[in-house]
Amino acid sequence: MVFDTKVAILVLEDLAMWQKLNVTAFLATGIAGSAPEAMGEPYRDAAGRRHAALLGQPMLIFAASSDVLQRAWRQSIERDLTRAVYVRAMFSTGHDAANREVFAAEPADAPDLVGLAIRGPRKDVDKATKGAVLHP
């Protein structure tokens, strides 16, 4: 199936594995929360038990350098893509309100990104992720 939109998650390549997984999970929820129309139907198992719905399209996970993350950040703003962000300072917080506070304190044009998720028209997401490589 071909989708009109694309979801890409870029994660700083030199993070510890637990950090990469944590950042990816948080960013995926940001995209899901911002795009309820992209959510699939709830799952049911063979016993009829209901399970949570998942995003109805693939998410591509990229490893990126700081430069690629900053470029994708600028492109995502210029192209008005849906964005979810994770900055380095968020590793030292313990809850959502503190995360928003440290993010708001970042330089608006160059936050210390360790992760960025974007969703939008395929061509725009492809242009924004140029230079990133699929995570191994």
The enclosing domain of 11 has a CATH number of 3.40.1490.10
Q: 5 forms bridges with which residues in the sheet?
A: 121
The pLDDT confidence band at residue 10, using thresholds 50, 70 and 90, is: very high
The pLDDT value given to residue 17: 96
Residue spans of beta strands (DSSP E) within the chain: 5-12, 43-44, 50-51, 59-64, 82-87, 113-121, 133-134
Number of domains, the chain: 1
pLDDT in tens, 66-103: 999 999 999 999 999 999 999 999 999 999 999 999 99
pTM of the model: 0.94
How far is the C-alpha of 85 from the C-alpha of 44, rounded, in Å? 32
- CA distances 61 to 8, 47, 100, 132, Å, are 6, 33, 23, 9
Q: Which domain holds residue 117?
A: 5-134
Amino acid 1: pLDDT = 79
Contact 56, 39 (CB under 8 A): yes
pLDDT at 105: 97
